[in-house]
Structure 1
Amino acid sequence: MAELLERFSNSLSRAEQAVKNDCPDKLRDVLKNERTAFTSDLVTEKSLVNHQIRENLLHFAVHQSASRCINLLLNPPFCWNSESPNSLGHTPLDLAMRRRYLPVVYLLASHSDSPYSYKKHPFSVELLLIEPCSIELISGALNATFIDKPIKNPTL
């Protein structure tokens, strides 16, 4: 019975179910979509899960904290754009930062050209873990300005 229902459900709903269960193998099967000849049923980066705020499956995976599916979407052969904003301007990384789920934050940050915005995200442990030696981050956190000067007589 479950197999029959799966046949009649569309690819996007099967992809959503795979993400809800954080099952990358099932998601991979849906994304490759080798069993169907219908191009209208293909799930791509442009397929919207939430039409109202224009979120795709990667945004949905972040909402679900589905780190294994996020990893699948970000890496070859799929290579989805981790910086694709929804209609509110929030990227998957922005959404992950709000949820404070470090495995997802780290995955998305490591696949982003500019992994974070200090203006969007105030100082947080998550950002410090992403780039622990960032002068901009530390100075912003301390509300101070650091100057690149060599330390005189450093002690070890």
Structure 2
Amino acid sequence: MSELQSDRTYPVTKSDEQWRAELTPQEFHVLREAGTERPFVGAYTDAKTVGVYACRACGTELFTSETKFESHCGWPSFYAPLAGDTVEYIEDRSLPGRPRVEVRCATCGSHLGHVFEGEGYETPTDQRYCINSISLTLKPAS
């Protein structure tokens, strides 16, 4: 899989060598190469801890536990980001015949997961941000 390409300049920009030095190989694969962790194995899939979920690569706060819900899809699901400008959306046509919307951290450009609409979940936004656990770090409320 090729590494992330974007015309955008992010506030946090590092070379691939710097990212590799800071992230584990699996974290690098998901965050910087738009990989996907296996379903039902992530640390936050079933987490109920109250707090804020931040980008594992740069620490930007992205989602809160208040918007996390059980979708039973195998990855943590949220119905909205913390603020609209904390994430960016990229058209993803990597699966033939099935366009998706990729979700990236707006601060460093790291891949987080995808967002889906109209799946029938009873959430305020009718959206499911399907996010890789490995892309996140949970900061528990004090």
TM-score class, shorter: under 0.3
**Which has the larger share of strand?**
2
State the TM-score, normalizing by the size of structure 1: 0.23
Q: Which has the larger radius of gyration?
A: 1
TM-score (norm 2): 0.25
